[in-house]
Structure 1
Amino acid sequence: MLGLNPISISREKPLSKEEVAQALRWAIMAELDAINFYKQFAEFVEDENIRKIFLDIAREEKAHVGEFMALLLHLDPEQVSELKDGFEEVEELTGIKVKLGEK
């Protein structure tokens, strides 16, 4: 997936705010892919120690999603608004209320 990103390493000028936001979205997708890979792989590993490591790494990738999301929300106020709207719609339709920061 990352090989398809159009951001060139040899650039003459810094990335624009929108290009950074786009890169953060790609990074989030990559982390989500990694989470799925590690969790799926863990299901098929017989060795419990190896399974534990894959599940631990999957948890770490979730933290990376949070880090990239925090940066994205900093750069893209529209994303903040739409994210809030999405949370509210889920609560309205299902009664499920999600508060960030609660485990």
Structure 2
Amino acid sequence: MLAKNPLEVPPGRKFSKEELAQAVRLSIIAELDAVNLYLQLANATDDPLARKVFEDIAREEKTHVGEFLSLLERLDPEQVKELEKGKKEVLELEER
């Protein structure tokens, strides 16, 4: 996890559009790390309630990933093209 803002923007200065896109990408990484952590914790316990809580929180983190992806698509049109390109490549591989 991140202990400090890795972008190191001085107080009072706002992100440029590119810096904001970078911050959103970092946020996506953090959320995916959190999903993996909570699922690992869920699988590491025999306590049914703890398992349900970890799994529920993991689902919430997946929602956050979706929110950040939606924001990133608005900030970086190239990202939209590349995501679509990646989806097409998987479909092509699936059809082989």
* Structure 1 and Structure 2 fold alike (TM over 0.5): yes
Q: Percent identity?
A: 56
How far residue 9 of structure 1 moved from its aligned partner, in angstroms, is 5.2
Structure with more contact order per residue of length (Cα contacts < 8 Å, sep ≥ 6)? 2
Structure 1 distance, partners of 2:28, 2:84, is 18
The residue that corresponds to 1:101 in the other structure is none
The residue that corresponds to 1:86 in the other structure is 86
How far residue 5 of structure 1 moved from its aligned partner, in angstroms, is 4.4
Root mean square deviation of aligned Cα: 1.4
Structure 1 distance, partners of 2:32, 2:84, is 20
SS in 1 for 2:3: helix
Q: Which runs of 5+ in 1 are unaligned?
A: 96-103
Structure 2 distance, partners of 1:15, 1:92, is 38
SS in 2 for 1:38: helix
Q: Does 2:14 align with 1:10? A: no
TM, length-normalised to structure 1: 0.85
Q: Which runs of 5+ in 2 are unaligned?
A: none
The residue that corresponds to 1:28 in the other structure is 28
SS in 2 for 1:3: coil
Residues 38, 58 of structure 2: 8 Å contact kept: yes
The residue that corresponds to 1:98 in the other structure is none
Structure 2 distance, partners of 1:60, 1:41, is 15
Deviations 1:64-83 (A, max 9, x none): 00000000000000000000
